[in-house]
Amino acid sequence: MPSKSSLTLRQQVGQLMIMGFDGADVSARLRTMLATFQPGGVILFKRNIDAATQTHALLRSVEKASTIPLFRCVDMEGGTVDRFRDVVAPIPSAAEVARTGSTKLFRKHGKVIGRQLRALGFNTDFAPCVDLRLPESIDVLGPRTVSSDPKEIVRYAREFLGGLRDARILGCGKHFPGLGGAALDSHNALPAIARSWDEVWNQDLVPYRELRRQFPFVMVAHVSYPKITGGNTPASLSKKWITGVLRERIRYLGLVVSDDLDMGGVLNSVSVEEAAVATLKAGSDVFLICQKEENVWRAYEAVYKYAERNSSFARMVARKAKRVIAFKTGSRAVSSRMAPPPTPDKVDLMRRRVWEFAEDVRLSSVASLAECASLMEPGHVDQEFAG
Protein backbone atom coordinates (compact mmCIF):
# COMPACT_ATOMS: atom_id res chain seq x y z
CA MET A 1 0.00 0.00 0.00
CA PRO A 2 1.42 3.45 -0.89
CA SER A 3 2.24 5.68 2.05
CA LYS A 4 -0.39 8.29 2.83
CA SER A 5 2.05 11.10 2.01
CA SER A 6 2.98 9.65 -1.40
CA LEU A 7 -0.52 9.72 -2.90
CA THR A 8 -1.03 12.09 -5.81
CA LEU A 9 -4.05 14.40 -5.81
CA ARG A 10 -5.79 12.10 -8.29
CA GLN A 11 -5.23 9.11 -6.01
CA GLN A 12 -6.44 11.09 -3.00
CA VAL A 13 -9.66 11.98 -4.79
CA GLY A 14 -10.12 8.37 -5.88
CA GLN A 15 -9.91 7.15 -2.29
CA LEU A 16 -13.01 9.22 -1.50
CA MET A 17 -15.18 7.37 -4.02
CA ILE A 18 -16.84 3.95 -4.03
CA MET A 19 -18.00 3.18 -7.54
CA GLY A 20 -20.40 0.86 -9.29
CA PHE A 21 -19.84 -0.39 -12.83
CA ASP A 22 -21.46 -2.44 -15.59
CA GLY A 23 -20.78 -6.06 -16.45
CA ALA A 24 -19.83 -9.31 -14.79
CA ASP A 25 -16.13 -9.21 -15.65
CA VAL A 26 -13.30 -6.68 -15.87
CA SER A 27 -13.56 -5.04 -19.28
CA ALA A 28 -10.83 -2.88 -20.80
CA ARG A 29 -12.99 0.15 -19.99
CA LEU A 30 -13.30 -0.82 -16.33
CA ARG A 31 -9.57 -1.52 -16.10
CA THR A 32 -8.92 2.01 -17.38
CA MET A 33 -11.34 3.48 -14.84
CA LEU A 34 -9.71 1.62 -11.95
CA ALA A 35 -6.22 2.62 -13.04
CA THR A 36 -7.26 6.26 -13.45
CA PHE A 37 -9.36 6.68 -10.31
CA GLN A 38 -7.71 4.28 -7.85
CA PRO A 39 -11.11 4.31 -6.09
CA GLY A 40 -11.58 3.75 -2.39
CA GLY A 41 -13.85 0.84 -3.23
CA VAL A 42 -16.27 -0.82 -5.60
CA ILE A 43 -19.84 -1.96 -5.06
CA LEU A 44 -21.55 -4.87 -6.83
CA PHE A 45 -25.21 -5.27 -7.78
CA LYS A 46 -27.25 -7.99 -9.47
CA ARG A 47 -26.00 -6.76 -12.85
CA ASN A 48 -22.49 -7.81 -11.81
CA ILE A 49 -23.35 -11.21 -10.36
CA ASP A 50 -23.85 -14.42 -12.35
CA ALA A 51 -22.41 -17.12 -10.09
CA ALA A 52 -20.38 -17.59 -6.92
CA THR A 53 -17.06 -18.35 -8.63
CA GLN A 54 -17.62 -15.56 -11.18
CA THR A 55 -18.28 -13.03 -8.38
CA HIS A 56 -15.09 -14.03 -6.57
CA ALA A 57 -13.07 -13.87 -9.80
CA LEU A 58 -14.50 -10.43 -10.60
CA LEU A 59 -13.58 -9.04 -7.19
CA ARG A 60 -10.11 -10.56 -7.36
CA SER A 61 -9.54 -9.01 -10.79
CA VAL A 62 -10.80 -5.64 -9.61
CA GLU A 63 -8.53 -5.79 -6.55
CA LYS A 64 -5.52 -6.64 -8.72
CA ALA A 65 -6.27 -3.67 -10.99
CA SER A 66 -5.85 -1.26 -8.07
CA THR A 67 -2.58 -0.44 -6.29
CA ILE A 68 -4.45 0.38 -3.06
CA PRO A 69 -6.65 -2.18 -1.22
CA LEU A 70 -10.36 -1.68 -1.88
CA PHE A 71 -13.54 -1.68 0.10
CA ARG A 72 -15.28 -4.51 -1.78
CA CYS A 73 -18.88 -3.66 -1.04
CA VAL A 74 -22.42 -4.92 -1.46
CA ASP A 75 -25.87 -4.16 -0.03
CA MET A 76 -26.83 -7.42 1.66
CA GLU A 77 -29.62 -7.35 4.24
CA GLY A 78 -31.64 -10.46 3.36
CA GLY A 79 -35.25 -10.45 2.19
CA THR A 80 -35.86 -7.87 -0.56
CA VAL A 81 -32.21 -6.74 -0.48
CA ASP A 82 -30.45 -10.02 -1.26
CA ARG A 83 -28.01 -9.96 -4.20
CA PHE A 84 -27.30 -13.71 -3.97
CA ARG A 85 -30.74 -15.28 -3.59
CA ASP A 86 -30.37 -16.92 -7.02
CA VAL A 87 -26.64 -17.67 -6.65
CA VAL A 88 -26.78 -19.28 -3.21
CA ALA A 89 -30.21 -19.23 -1.50
CA PRO A 90 -32.69 -16.62 -0.22
CA ILE A 91 -31.79 -15.30 3.25
CA PRO A 92 -34.61 -14.16 5.59
CA SER A 93 -35.25 -10.43 5.94
CA ALA A 94 -34.38 -8.34 8.97
CA ALA A 95 -38.08 -8.10 9.86
CA GLU A 96 -38.49 -11.90 9.78
CA VAL A 97 -35.48 -12.43 12.00
CA ALA A 98 -36.46 -9.64 14.39
CA ARG A 99 -39.89 -11.19 14.91
CA THR A 100 -38.25 -14.19 16.57
CA GLY A 101 -37.01 -11.97 19.40
CA SER A 102 -33.89 -14.16 19.60
CA THR A 103 -30.58 -12.34 20.02
CA LYS A 104 -28.89 -15.62 19.09
CA LEU A 105 -30.64 -15.54 15.70
CA PHE A 106 -29.96 -11.81 15.29
CA ARG A 107 -26.23 -12.53 15.55
CA LYS A 108 -26.51 -15.61 13.37
CA HIS A 109 -28.22 -13.48 10.69
CA GLY A 110 -25.12 -11.30 10.49
CA LYS A 111 -22.80 -14.29 10.67
CA VAL A 112 -24.52 -16.28 7.89
CA ILE A 113 -24.51 -13.21 5.64
CA GLY A 114 -20.94 -12.33 6.65
CA ARG A 115 -19.54 -15.81 5.97
CA GLN A 116 -21.23 -15.86 2.59
CA LEU A 117 -19.83 -12.46 1.64
CA ARG A 118 -16.33 -13.34 2.84
CA ALA A 119 -16.36 -16.54 0.81
CA LEU A 120 -17.38 -14.59 -2.30
CA GLY A 121 -14.61 -12.00 -1.90
CA PHE A 122 -16.31 -9.06 -0.16
CA ASN A 123 -15.14 -7.20 2.93
CA THR A 124 -17.92 -4.61 3.39
CA ASP A 125 -21.69 -4.93 3.77
CA PHE A 126 -23.83 -1.78 3.73
CA ALA A 127 -26.14 -3.18 6.41
CA PRO A 128 -27.99 -3.15 8.76
CA CYS A 129 -30.85 -0.76 8.07
CA VAL A 130 -31.70 0.96 11.37
CA ASP A 131 -34.62 3.11 10.23
CA LEU A 132 -37.78 3.11 12.34
CA ARG A 133 -40.59 0.84 11.17
CA LEU A 134 -43.30 3.49 10.84
CA PRO A 135 -46.57 3.52 8.83
CA GLU A 136 -45.30 6.30 6.55
CA SER A 137 -42.43 4.21 5.16
CA ILE A 138 -43.76 0.67 5.38
CA ASP A 139 -44.64 0.55 1.66
CA VAL A 140 -41.17 1.82 0.75
CA LEU A 141 -38.87 -0.01 3.17
CA GLY A 142 -41.06 -3.05 3.86
CA PRO A 143 -39.22 -5.93 5.60
CA ARG A 144 -35.95 -4.01 5.74
CA THR A 145 -36.96 -2.40 9.05
CA VAL A 146 -37.36 -4.28 12.32
CA SER A 147 -39.34 -2.17 14.81
CA SER A 148 -40.89 1.18 15.68
CA ASP A 149 -39.06 0.92 19.02
CA PRO A 150 -35.48 2.24 18.73
CA LYS A 151 -34.37 0.02 21.63
CA GLU A 152 -35.43 -3.07 19.67
CA ILE A 153 -33.59 -1.77 16.60
CA VAL A 154 -30.43 -1.36 18.68
CA ARG A 155 -30.89 -4.87 20.12
CA TYR A 156 -31.08 -6.39 16.63
CA ALA A 157 -28.40 -4.22 15.00
CA ARG A 158 -25.82 -4.78 17.75
CA GLU A 159 -26.00 -8.54 17.31
CA PHE A 160 -26.15 -8.40 13.50
CA LEU A 161 -23.00 -6.26 13.46
CA GLY A 162 -21.36 -8.75 15.82
CA GLY A 163 -22.16 -11.53 13.38
CA LEU A 164 -20.61 -9.59 10.50
CA ARG A 165 -17.57 -8.85 12.63
CA ASP A 166 -17.18 -12.57 13.45
CA ALA A 167 -16.90 -13.15 9.70
CA ARG A 168 -14.46 -10.21 9.21
CA ILE A 169 -16.97 -8.10 7.31
CA LEU A 170 -17.43 -4.36 7.91
CA GLY A 171 -20.99 -3.22 8.55
CA CYS A 172 -22.79 0.09 8.08
CA GLY A 173 -25.63 1.88 9.88
CA LYS A 174 -28.14 3.39 7.50
CA HIS A 175 -29.95 5.60 6.57
CA PHE A 176 -28.86 8.54 8.77
CA PRO A 177 -30.66 10.57 10.10
CA GLY A 178 -33.59 8.25 9.35
CA LEU A 179 -36.02 7.28 6.60
CA GLY A 180 -38.68 5.88 8.93
CA GLY A 181 -40.97 8.86 8.40
CA ALA A 182 -40.46 8.97 4.60
CA ALA A 183 -43.40 8.19 2.33
CA LEU A 184 -41.27 8.63 -0.81
CA ASP A 185 -38.48 6.41 -2.12
CA SER A 186 -35.23 8.43 -2.17
CA HIS A 187 -34.14 6.46 -5.25
CA ASN A 188 -36.70 8.54 -7.15
CA ALA A 189 -37.41 11.71 -5.18
CA LEU A 190 -36.33 13.63 -2.07
CA PRO A 191 -38.49 12.74 0.95
CA ALA A 192 -39.29 15.66 3.25
CA ILE A 193 -40.11 14.43 6.76
CA ALA A 194 -42.15 16.60 9.12
CA ARG A 195 -40.66 15.39 12.40
CA SER A 196 -39.38 17.63 15.18
CA TRP A 197 -35.87 17.64 16.59
CA ASP A 198 -37.04 16.01 19.83
CA GLU A 199 -38.72 13.19 17.90
CA VAL A 200 -35.65 12.57 15.76
CA TRP A 201 -33.15 12.80 18.63
CA ASN A 202 -35.14 10.54 20.95
CA GLN A 203 -36.22 8.02 18.30
CA ASP A 204 -34.58 8.02 14.84
CA LEU A 205 -31.09 8.83 16.12
CA VAL A 206 -31.04 6.40 19.05
CA PRO A 207 -29.34 3.59 17.03
CA TYR A 208 -26.57 5.97 15.97
CA ARG A 209 -26.14 7.28 19.50
CA GLU A 210 -26.08 3.81 21.06
CA LEU A 211 -23.99 2.08 18.38
CA ARG A 212 -21.61 4.89 17.40
CA ARG A 213 -18.61 2.76 18.36
CA GLN A 214 -19.92 -0.36 16.59
CA PHE A 215 -20.62 1.14 13.14
CA PRO A 216 -17.52 1.05 10.87
CA PHE A 217 -19.56 3.13 8.38
CA VAL A 218 -22.61 5.34 8.67
CA MET A 219 -24.49 6.03 5.44
CA VAL A 220 -26.20 9.41 5.09
CA ALA A 221 -29.53 9.49 3.29
CA HIS A 222 -31.04 11.77 0.69
CA VAL A 223 -33.79 13.08 2.97
CA SER A 224 -34.75 16.48 4.33
CA TYR A 225 -36.18 17.57 7.65
CA PRO A 226 -37.53 21.12 7.05
CA LYS A 227 -38.68 21.60 10.65
CA ILE A 228 -35.12 20.99 11.84
CA THR A 229 -32.97 22.65 9.17
CA GLY A 230 -35.42 25.26 7.88
CA GLY A 231 -34.96 24.06 4.29
CA ASN A 232 -34.94 21.09 1.93
CA THR A 233 -31.22 20.42 1.60
CA PRO A 234 -30.68 16.64 1.59
CA ALA A 235 -28.97 15.37 4.74
CA SER A 236 -26.33 13.85 2.43
CA LEU A 237 -25.26 17.38 1.44
CA SER A 238 -25.88 19.04 4.83
CA LYS A 239 -23.05 20.18 7.08
CA LYS A 240 -25.58 20.62 9.88
CA TRP A 241 -26.53 16.94 9.77
CA ILE A 242 -23.16 15.33 9.00
CA THR A 243 -20.73 17.56 10.90
CA GLY A 244 -23.04 19.22 13.40
CA VAL A 245 -25.16 16.25 14.46
CA LEU A 246 -23.35 13.02 13.50
CA ARG A 247 -19.79 14.14 14.25
CA GLU A 248 -20.22 16.77 16.98
CA ARG A 249 -23.45 15.86 18.82
CA ILE A 250 -23.31 12.07 18.49
CA ARG A 251 -19.49 11.99 18.35
CA TYR A 252 -19.32 9.32 15.68
CA LEU A 253 -15.69 8.54 14.78
CA GLY A 254 -16.03 6.00 11.96
CA LEU A 255 -16.28 6.61 8.21
CA VAL A 256 -19.22 8.60 6.84
CA VAL A 257 -20.41 7.59 3.38
CA SER A 258 -23.08 9.31 1.31
CA ASP A 259 -25.89 7.25 -0.16
CA ASP A 260 -25.67 6.77 -3.93
CA LEU A 261 -25.30 10.18 -5.60
CA ASP A 262 -26.85 8.64 -8.71
CA MET A 263 -30.30 8.69 -7.05
CA GLY A 264 -33.23 10.97 -7.83
CA GLY A 265 -33.36 12.08 -4.20
CA VAL A 266 -30.30 14.23 -4.84
CA LEU A 267 -30.08 14.58 -8.65
CA ASN A 268 -33.51 16.23 -8.82
CA SER A 269 -31.93 19.14 -6.92
CA VAL A 270 -28.28 19.36 -8.04
CA SER A 271 -25.93 17.84 -10.62
CA VAL A 272 -23.79 14.84 -9.73
CA GLU A 273 -20.73 17.12 -9.93
CA GLU A 274 -22.20 19.53 -7.38
CA ALA A 275 -23.36 16.67 -5.17
CA ALA A 276 -19.91 15.04 -5.00
CA VAL A 277 -18.20 18.27 -3.95
CA ALA A 278 -21.01 19.24 -1.56
CA THR A 279 -21.15 15.94 0.35
CA LEU A 280 -17.40 16.11 1.02
CA LYS A 281 -17.68 19.72 2.17
CA ALA A 282 -20.57 18.73 4.44
CA GLY A 283 -18.43 16.11 6.18
CA SER A 284 -18.67 12.81 4.28
CA ASP A 285 -15.42 10.86 4.01
CA VAL A 286 -16.56 8.85 1.00
CA PHE A 287 -19.30 9.17 -1.61
CA LEU A 288 -21.08 6.43 -3.55
CA ILE A 289 -21.71 6.54 -7.30
CA CYS A 290 -23.44 3.28 -8.14
CA GLN A 291 -25.40 3.37 -11.40
CA LYS A 292 -24.01 5.23 -14.41
CA GLU A 293 -20.35 4.96 -15.31
CA GLU A 294 -20.63 8.39 -16.96
CA ASN A 295 -21.54 9.86 -13.57
CA VAL A 296 -18.55 8.16 -11.95
CA TRP A 297 -16.30 10.04 -14.37
CA ARG A 298 -18.18 13.30 -13.90
CA ALA A 299 -18.14 13.18 -10.11
CA TYR A 300 -14.48 12.22 -9.95
CA GLU A 301 -13.35 14.95 -12.35
CA ALA A 302 -15.48 17.55 -10.56
CA VAL A 303 -13.85 16.83 -7.19
CA TYR A 304 -10.38 16.69 -8.75
CA LYS A 305 -10.75 19.98 -10.66
CA TYR A 306 -12.27 21.76 -7.67
CA ALA A 307 -9.34 20.60 -5.51
CA GLU A 308 -6.89 21.83 -8.17
CA ARG A 309 -8.21 25.38 -7.98
CA ASN A 310 -9.15 25.53 -4.30
CA SER A 311 -6.25 24.92 -1.91
CA SER A 312 -8.38 24.63 1.25
CA PHE A 313 -10.57 22.00 -0.43
CA ALA A 314 -7.42 20.19 -1.62
CA ARG A 315 -6.18 20.05 1.96
CA MET A 316 -9.56 18.66 3.00
CA VAL A 317 -9.30 15.97 0.31
CA ALA A 318 -5.80 15.06 1.52
CA ARG A 319 -7.01 14.75 5.13
CA LYS A 320 -9.96 12.57 4.13
CA ALA A 321 -7.79 10.33 1.93
CA LYS A 322 -5.32 9.93 4.80
CA ARG A 323 -8.21 8.97 7.07
CA VAL A 324 -9.56 6.39 4.60
CA ILE A 325 -6.12 4.84 4.08
CA ALA A 326 -5.52 4.69 7.84
CA PHE A 327 -8.88 2.98 8.30
CA LYS A 328 -8.00 0.38 5.67
CA THR A 329 -4.56 -0.20 7.17
CA GLY A 330 -6.04 -0.76 10.61
CA SER A 331 -8.93 -2.94 9.46
CA ARG A 332 -8.40 -6.69 9.51
CA ALA A 333 -11.40 -7.05 7.18
CA VAL A 334 -9.69 -4.95 4.49
CA SER A 335 -6.04 -5.82 5.06
CA SER A 336 -6.45 -9.62 5.25
CA ARG A 337 -6.24 -11.72 2.11
CA MET A 338 -9.28 -12.68 0.10
CA ALA A 339 -10.62 -16.15 0.72
CA PRO A 340 -9.73 -18.74 -1.93
CA PRO A 341 -12.25 -19.20 -4.77
CA PRO A 342 -15.39 -21.00 -3.57
CA THR A 343 -15.53 -24.63 -4.65
CA PRO A 344 -18.86 -26.31 -5.51
CA ASP A 345 -18.71 -27.98 -2.07
CA LYS A 346 -18.22 -24.57 -0.43
CA VAL A 347 -21.22 -23.16 -2.28
CA ASP A 348 -23.29 -26.16 -1.21
CA LEU A 349 -22.19 -25.56 2.40
CA MET A 350 -23.23 -21.88 2.19
CA ARG A 351 -26.57 -22.92 0.72
CA ARG A 352 -27.11 -25.46 3.50
CA ARG A 353 -26.26 -22.87 6.18
CA VAL A 354 -28.82 -20.47 4.72
CA TRP A 355 -31.52 -23.16 4.58
CA GLU A 356 -30.80 -24.22 8.16
CA PHE A 357 -30.88 -20.62 9.35
CA ALA A 358 -34.15 -19.94 7.50
CA GLU A 359 -35.67 -23.00 9.17
CA ASP A 360 -34.44 -21.85 12.60
CA VAL A 361 -36.11 -18.48 11.98
CA ARG A 362 -39.35 -20.12 10.87
CA LEU A 363 -39.53 -22.45 13.85
CA SER A 364 -38.65 -19.69 16.30
CA SER A 365 -41.34 -17.46 14.81
CA VAL A 366 -43.93 -20.24 15.10
CA ALA A 367 -42.94 -20.78 18.74
CA SER A 368 -43.21 -17.05 19.46
CA LEU A 369 -46.67 -16.90 17.89
CA ALA A 370 -47.80 -19.95 19.87
CA GLU A 371 -46.57 -18.37 23.09
CA CYS A 372 -48.40 -15.12 22.32
CA ALA A 373 -51.59 -17.07 21.54
CA SER A 374 -51.40 -18.96 24.83
CA LEU A 375 -51.07 -15.70 26.73
CA MET A 376 -54.24 -14.47 25.05
CA GLU A 377 -56.31 -17.50 26.07
CA PRO A 378 -59.17 -16.85 28.56
CA GLY A 379 -58.30 -17.85 32.09
CA HIS A 380 -54.55 -17.50 31.60
CA VAL A 381 -52.90 -16.32 34.81
CA ASP A 382 -49.44 -14.79 34.86
CA GLN A 383 -47.55 -16.94 37.38
CA GLU A 384 -45.54 -13.95 38.55
CA PHE A 385 -48.72 -12.48 40.01
CA ALA A 386 -50.49 -15.70 41.03
CA GLY A 387 -51.51 -15.91 44.71
Indicate if 259 belongs to the active site: yes
Residue-wise pLDDT tens digits, 257-300: 999 999 988 999 899 999 999 999 999 999 999 999 999 999 99
pLDDT digits (tens, 9 = 90+) for 59-79: 999 999 999 999 999 999 999
Give the whole-number percent of the chain exceeding pLDDT 70.
93
- 222-262: pLDDT as tens digits: 999 999 999 999 999 999 999 999 999 999 999 999 999 99
Give the Cα separation of 156 and 149 in Å (integer).
Answer: 11
Summarised one tens digit per residue, pLDDT across range 17-54 is 999 999 999 999 999 999 999 999 999 999 999 999 99
The pLDDT assigned to 248 comes to 98
Q: Is the pLDDT of residue 383 over 50?
A: no
pLDDT, position 199 = 97
Show me where the domains of the chain are located. 15-369
- pLDDT (average), residues 74-85: 96
Is 70 exceeded by the pLDDT of residue 3? Answer: no
pLDDT at 188: 86
DSSP state of 246: I
Full DSSP string of 338-368: PPPPPPHHHHHHHHHHHHHHHHHHHHHHHHH
User: Could you say which of 50, 166, 185, 187 is catalytic?
Assistant: 187
Q: Are 248 and 289 in contact (CB under 8 A)?
A: no
**Cis previous bond, 380, omega within 30:** no
**pLDDT for residue 127 is more than 80:** yes
Mean pLDDT, all residues of the chain: 93
Q: For position 384, what pLDDT does the model report? A: 34
Reported as a pLDDT band with limits 50, 70 and 90, residue 371 is: low
- DSSP annotation string for 260-291: ETTSHHHHTTS-HHHHHHHHHHHT-SEEEE-S
Number of Cα atoms under 13 Å in the Cβ half of residue 201: 7
Do 44 and 74 meet the contact criterion of CB atoms below 8 Å apart?
A: yes
pLDDT reading at 380 higher than 50 = no
For residue range 137-187, what is the model confidence (pLDDT) as tens digits? 999 999 999 999 999 999 999 999 999 999 999 999 999 999 999 988 888
Is the pLDDT at 351 greater than 80, yes or no? yes
Return the pLDDT at 84.
96
For this structure, is 109 an active site residue?
Answer: no
Per-residue pLDDT at 378 exceeds 90: no
Instruction: Using pLDDT thresholds of 50, 70 and 90, give the confidence band for residue 365.
Output: confident
Q: What is the pLDDT of residue 374?
A: 53
- 75, 125, 259, 260: the catalytic one is 259
Q: What is the pTM of this model?
A: 0.93
Query: In the Cβ-directed half-sphere of 54, how many Cα atoms lie within 13 Å?
Result: 14
pLDDT, residue 269, reads 87
- Asked if residue 373 has pLDDT above 70, the reply is no
Predicted confidence band of residue 381 (pLDDT cuts 50, 70, 90): very low
What phi, psi does 72 have (nearest 5°)?
Answer: -100, 100
Position 385 scores a pLDDT of 29
pLDDT of 139 reads 93
**Position 111 pLDDT exceeds 70:** yes
Taking residues 72-94, report their average pLDDT: 96
* CATH superfamily for domain 15-369: Glycoside hydrolase, family 3, N-terminal domain (3.20.20.300)
